[in-house]
Amino acid sequence: MRKIILAAAVATAALGLSACGSNTETETEEAVDSMAADADAAADDAGEAIEGAAVETTEEVKAAAAEAADDAVKTTEEVGDDALSVVDQAEEAGAE
């Protein structure tokens, strides 16, 4: 964001000075082109950083979901075992 604002300020100043001669106009165009290239490169870098963070977050979410699923299966098995234990104790006590 700062680069874009700086580029706009420099471009404005450069255009104001361009009235001084034709050589200045060429230099102004080169400066503006250079700033545009810098802004594009910065945008590309930011896009790559965002994509990398999204991929990493997705992998973390998948791992957490897999772990939660494993815990849920264990919990279900434990509940089933506890229920069987209660049934066995009731049968031993003579209940039907």
Inside any domain, residue 75 = no
Inside any domain, residue 80 = no
Inside any domain, residue 76 = no
Inside any domain, residue 85 = no
| pLDDT reported for residue 73 | 74
Instruction: Quote the radius of gyration of the chain (alpha carbons, Å).
Output: 34
Tokens of residue 93, six digits: 């006590």
Number of domains in the chain: 1
Inside any domain, residue 89 = no
| pLDDT reported for residue 9 | 64
Q: Which domain holds residue 18?
A: 2-67
Inside any domain, residue 95 = no
Inside any domain, residue 82 = no
Q: In whole angstroms, what is the distance from residue 19 CA to residue 13 CA? A: 11
| pLDDT reported for residue 23 | 62
Inside any domain, residue 44 = yes
| pLDDT reported for residue 82 | 82
DSSP per-residue codes, the chain = -HHHHHHHHHHHHHHHHGGG-HHHHHHHHHHHHHHHHHHHHHHHHHHHHHHHHHHHHHHHHHHHHHHHHHHHHHHHHHHHHHHHHHHHHHHHHT--
Each of the 96 residues of the chain gets a pLDDT tens digit; together they read 566 666 666 666 665 655 555 565 677 777 778 887 777 777 777 778 788 788 888 888 888 888 888 877 777 778 788 888 888 888 888 755
| pLDDT reported for residue 29 | 76
